[in-house]
Structure 1
Amino acid sequence: MSPVVGRFQGRDVIAVPQCPFCEQTFSPPTEEAGETPREMPVGRCLCGAAYAYDATGHNLGSAMIEALVCACHGDWDHAWDLLPGEDYLERQLEHYDLETHKVISGGVYEGRRIAGTLYFIRLHEPLRKQDASPARNREYPVKNRASHSSPRKGRKSFSKREVESLVRDYRLDAVVEIARTDARVIASLKRLLYAVDRILARRAAEALGLAGHVIAREDPSRIARLLQGLISSLTDSAASAWGSLDAIGEIIYHSPNEFAGYIPQLYALSRDRALLPEILRSLEMISRSRSPVIRKTAFQFVQLLRDEDPRVVAYAAMLLGNLGATEAREELERLKDATDPVEVYEKGRLIEKTLGLLASEALDKL
């Protein structure tokens, strides 16, 4: 019998929380758990699952990362090498109240709104056994995991340093070759999205789109989970948004038939003014695929050609040019003499162009 203890208040149920993996009760998450201080309270269940507490329910991307790093005993490098499904399972426990350590299914308790979520991560058993050893003696079986990902014929091992070197040298064809035999390369590429070196980060986004296209042919759900995680991360921090958005744009551009359904989520996020330039840059990349999902909304971007931010105007102009949106011709003509500098990414380089030049290039496509 499950040890849940609950009581009814009208239709609301208040229950003792249980681990979604083993159905045991567990201790409340704390600000510090073992190795290092955390941005969120974290904890561990006796079954080996780690969990992180998101008080608002809107920072699940951060909660996932905190729980994963906690599961790896603070080893960030190891955490980045792991993939959902192959290496760990994820679960969420909603309407959790840290103050009472209860699940308030109605979402309100004594006048307080309860929106907290516990994000659970449990590593697969071989990895849990490795992580139970002291950190200084721990050796992770990342390169040979036959029990959780049957190696494809011809798989060659690689390190994240090797992947970084290939991206830095703009040898994306070599990255794609790795992706053909080992989908784990996406974890190494994902960590580069947040590199301080902006060219490296932008090349990593392009590589992720190319590798994602190859992987999606056999396992589209893996890339769908990647997209979902990148989109979730956008609610956490605008500072890291540009890396995620560039990757989202590249992935959908290279695989529009599979992932164009994510475009409306970008539209919804564009209501955040701080994200608008980067979202438009992502949509501009997607528009090169001429996806009908974005073409039918082209008229909505015309008004952005009068925005006060040159980046917004530039990316909107490029997008409309890609779509062959003749309804934007008059506004684009007006911009031909604009001298505002705007940074754009082309063939592995970040270069500056004037707004007028970008408008002229867009007009040439109409």
Structure 2
Amino acid sequence: MNRLFKEEALIFLQERKLNELADVIIKKRSRIKNLLRLLYSTDAILRWRAIEAVGVVVDKLADNDYEAARNIIRSLFWSINDESGGIGWSAPECIGEIIYRRPVDFKEFASIIISFTDEEMLLPGVLWAAGRIAQADPELVREFVPELVGYIDNPNPVVRGYILRFLYIIGEKAPLDYNSCLLDDFNMVPVYENGFLKETSVAELARLHIQR
């Protein structure tokens, strides 16, 4: 990564100046590759802000070069395809963020990203994407509720938490009658909202359904 741009990008992400970062990248589009590398960062807050930034970049780019914006989405799908030679960490979250920002323009990608639920390593990201898309247009993912609710007893607490969050966002009640143990599940789940990464428990996410 170009050292000067790397330092600039890190500052923008740390300060959450995503529009400014997007403007810099769009002026020299080859820099999008540098931003995409940050999706692999071990710094969780930096990685989540990079995910958010990719959404902003694609949103802005689509205003002037719709096909270039779609190509970025295709490259993200390519990164999670076996043919790419590796797993695209954070790609599902990125795709969800992009669709959230442009639900009308990119709605056809919603069903495609949901189809990756059979990839265990990608499942948390796919469920996060489903929730993010639901925040913009619940109808894009509503048909998948019967399929996704089956992951509510998954051994991964993050998966359990994200399916509870997805169901809450979309306005569907979690089947707690058959999964009451979730109300006493204090495993922690990372949740990124409004630029901040917090930890909540599966139990707290389950209780939202009771409080509704």
Q: TM-score range by the shorter chain?
A: 0.7 to 0.9
Q: What whole-Å deviation, never above 9, does each CA across 1:156-188 have from its counterpart, x for those lacking one?
A: xx9343122201222224224546x63625334
- Quote how far apart the aligned CAs of 1:354 are: 0.9
**TM-score where L is the length of structure 2:** 0.84
Q: Is 1:237 aligned to residue 86 of structure 2?
A: yes
CA change 1:245–1:331 in 2 (3 A) is farther
Q: Is 1:297 aligned to residue 177 of structure 2?
A: no
Aligned to 1:159: 5
Q: Using CA pairs below 8 Å that are at least 6 residues apart, which structure has the higher relative contact order? A: 2
CA change 1:363–1:183 in 2 (3 A) is farther
Letter in 2 for 1:325: E
- Quote how far apart the aligned CAs of 1:205 are: 0.6
Q: What whole-Å deviation, never above 9, does each CA across 1:93-112 have from its counterpart, x for those lacking one?
A: xxxxxxxxxxxxxxxxxxxx
State the Cα RMSD in Å. 2.5
CA distance, structure 2, for counterparts of residue 321 and residue 332 of structure 1? 17
Give the match's secondary structure for 2:208: helix
Structure having the larger proportion of residues in helix: 2
Q: What whole-Å deviation, never above 9, does each CA across 1:273-328 have from its counterpart, x for those lacking one?
A: 222122212222222112422012222222221222211111111111111014x3
CA change 1:217–1:332 in 2 (3 A) is farther
Aligned to 1:60: none
CA distance, structure 1, for counterparts of residue 66 and residue 178 of structure 2? 38
Aligned to 2:59: 213
* Contact 1:333-1:360 within 8 A present in 2 as well: no
CA distance, structure 2, for counterparts of residue 332 and residue 355 of structure 1? 15
Give the match's secondary structure for 1:297: helix
CA distance, structure 2, for counterparts of residue 361 and residue 176 of structure 1? 35
Alignment: residue pair count = 206
Structure having the larger proportion of residues in strand: 1
**TM-score where L is the length of structure 1:** 0.51
* Contact 1:321-1:363 within 8 A present in 2 as well: no
CA change 1:216–1:362 in 2 (3 A) is farther
2:15 to 154, 164, 169: 169
Q: Is 1:189 aligned to residue 16 of structure 2?
A: no
CA change 1:276–1:247 in 2 (3 A) is same
Q: List alignment gaps of at least 5 residues for structure 1.
A: 1-76, 79-157
Larger radius of gyration: 1
Identity %: 27
CA distance, structure 1, for counterparts of residue 178 and residue 53 of structure 2? 32
